[in-house]
Amino acid sequence: MASKGREGEHPSVTLFRQYLRIRTVHPEPDYGAAGAFLEEQAHQLGLGCQHVEVAPGRVVTVLTWPGTNPRLCSLLLNSHTDVVPVFRVCVWRGVQALYTKEHWSHDPFEAFKDAKGYIYARGAQDMKCVSIQYLEAVRKLKAEGHHFPRTIHMTFVPDEEVGGHQGMELFVQRPEFQALRAGFALDEGLASLTDNFTVFYSERSTWWVRITSTGKPGHGSRFIEDTAAEKLHKVVSSVLAFREKERQRLQSNPHLKQGAVTSVNLTKLEGGVACNVVPATLSASFDFRLAPDVDMKAFKEQLQGWCQAAGEGVTFEFVQKWTEPRVTSTDDSDPWWAAFSGVFKDMKLALEPEVFPAATDSRYLRAVGVPALGFSPMNNTPVLLHDHDERLHEAVFLRGVDIYAQLLSALASVPALPSDS
């Protein structure tokens, strides 16, 4: 029977499984245990280690391998320490049992490895694999006696899975972050079902919008003029027609990826007091994900236009709005991109640049001017982040360590740039 501690297991895999067993799961992640684990790794690897508490109980751990030329900007390798629940937490309604234990073949915090080599655990893909791959790539390079001009910092941040508001969003504003002098960053990506690896150079911007319609109230038995419902219906129809247009644009073009179009979903309907009372107010909430090439001013005007066309008393407000879409260069003339993509050319691996369909901590890094690529070395792997039976094959994991070793060598050796001074 396959089990933990099987003889002959690669030590990197054993370390990965140890980290997976730390319960950094929302809503009460054990960040203390993760910080202690990482500090121990720093000690073993001879790396600098600092903990930066960005909010009460929210600690960023930074491990540092100094470069030979401290005048150069550093390479920042980011990963988040938290994982999503095996129950889905609904912000508005508390905890909903969506993924219960029956949906998992194995305990999601046991890091069970089956006879084929699949490791089952929450965080196996998102993204404890990457954290350990960074560490193991550094271990390998140090053991081989390498030194690089640029300093390598590994940042392990909390709370990415709940928006990063008490994690990376605060960390990038801290003097400790400025002191890292990050010139370029790597962060998480997604698994790919094919032989190709995907890399994410930008993200869609999240806009959560609540549209409120007000109208004449009255008794439910009458034909009342100018009701909130009629007007809300109109504006909902406009938004869903836009949704259909974008959906068809994506489906009709096989070269277009999900991140290249704007998505929207109607996520919440609110209002009403009783079955026989026509309400004065009704609202609909939408989750928009704007493609990076969308003109945000024009898009906001479009929202205004939909509301105005629906009639008097229809307004909208932003529940959340990201307005700093940034794109990291994927031009061969960019030295960071040339170093990154060159590794894939050398290893004869296919690389597909894409826009990340959702939000990650990369957006905070890009917003403060640090170019970042989202990359998780998982090809031939189904996308199971946040899903039940999240798992990763140990061979894919180990190959990822080798890929990072190559990437770190290339990126930490990028020659001096004008941006370094």
Please spell the DSSP secondary structure of 207-231, one letter per residue: EEEEEEEE---EETTS--SS-HHHH
Nearer to Zn ion, 150 or 204 (CB): 204
Q: Which part of the chain contacts Zn ion (CB under 5 A), choosing from 31-39, 127-135, 205-213, 255-263?
A: 127-135
Name every residue whose Cβ is closer than 8 Å to that of residue 173 and which is 6 or more positions away in sequence: none
- Note whether 361 binds Zn ion by CB under 5 A: no
CA dihedral of residues 12, 13, 16, 21 (deg, nearest 10)? -140
- Note whether 127 binds Zn ion by CB under 5 A: yes
Exactly one of 82, 187, 188, 394 is catalytic; which is it?
Answer: 82
Let me know: does 112 contact 106? Beta carbons within 8 Å. Answer: yes
Shortest reach from residue 46's CB to Zn ion, in Å: 28
Shortest reach from residue 64's CB to Zn ion, in Å: 23
Let me know: does 383 contact 127? Beta carbons within 8 Å. Answer: no
Let me know: does 130 contact 138? Beta carbons within 8 Å. Answer: no
d(CA 106, CA 316): 45
Let me know: does 358 contact 383? Beta carbons within 8 Å. Answer: no
Nearer to Zn ion, 15 or 358 (CB): 358
The yes-or-no answer on residue 82 being catalytic is yes
Q: Which part of the chain contacts Zn ion (CB under 5 A), choosing from 14-22, 40-48, 123-131, 332-340?
A: 123-131
d(CA 37, CA 63): 12
Residue type for position 331? D
Residue with the CB atom nearest Zn ion in the bound state? 126
Q: Which part of the chain contacts Zn ion (CB under 5 A), choosing from 119-127, 144-152, 212-220, 373-381?
A: 119-127
- Note whether 159 binds Zn ion by CB under 5 A: no
d(CA 416, CA 421): 9
Shortest reach from residue 26's CB to Zn ion, in Å: 12
Q: Spell out a b/e string for 219-228, using b for 16 or more CB atoms within 10 Å of the CB, else e.
A: eeeeebeebb
d(CA 160, CA 359): 9
Shortest reach from residue 286's CB to Zn ion, in Å: 24
Nearer to Zn ion, 126 or 354 (CB): 126
- Note whether 126 binds Zn ion by CB under 5 A: yes
Give phi and psi for 213, each to the nearest 5.
Answer: -115, 130
Show contacts with Zn ion in window 171-230 (CB under 5 A).
188
The reply to whether omega before 296 is within 30° of 0 (cis) is no
Nearer to Zn ion, 159 or 212 (CB): 159
Shortest reach from residue 151's CB to Zn ion, in Å: 25
Shortest reach from residue 80's CB to Zn ion, in Å: 6
Site size for Zn ion, by CB under 5 A? 3
Nearer to Zn ion, 190 or 414 (CB): 190
d(CA 263, CA 286): 10
Let me know: does 128 contact 385? Beta carbons within 8 Å. Answer: no
Exactly one of 126, 159, 160, 390 is catalytic; which is it?
Answer: 160
Q: Which part of the chain contacts Zn ion (CB under 5 A), choosing from 126-134, 263-271, 311-319, 395-403?
A: 126-134
The yes-or-no answer on residue 317 being catalytic is no
Shortest reach from residue 253's CB to Zn ion, in Å: 28
Nearer to Zn ion, 24 or 238 (CB): 24
Nearer to Zn ion, 188 or 394 (CB): 188
> Active-site positions?
82, 160
Q: Which residues bind Zn ion (CB under 5 A)?
A: 126-127, 188
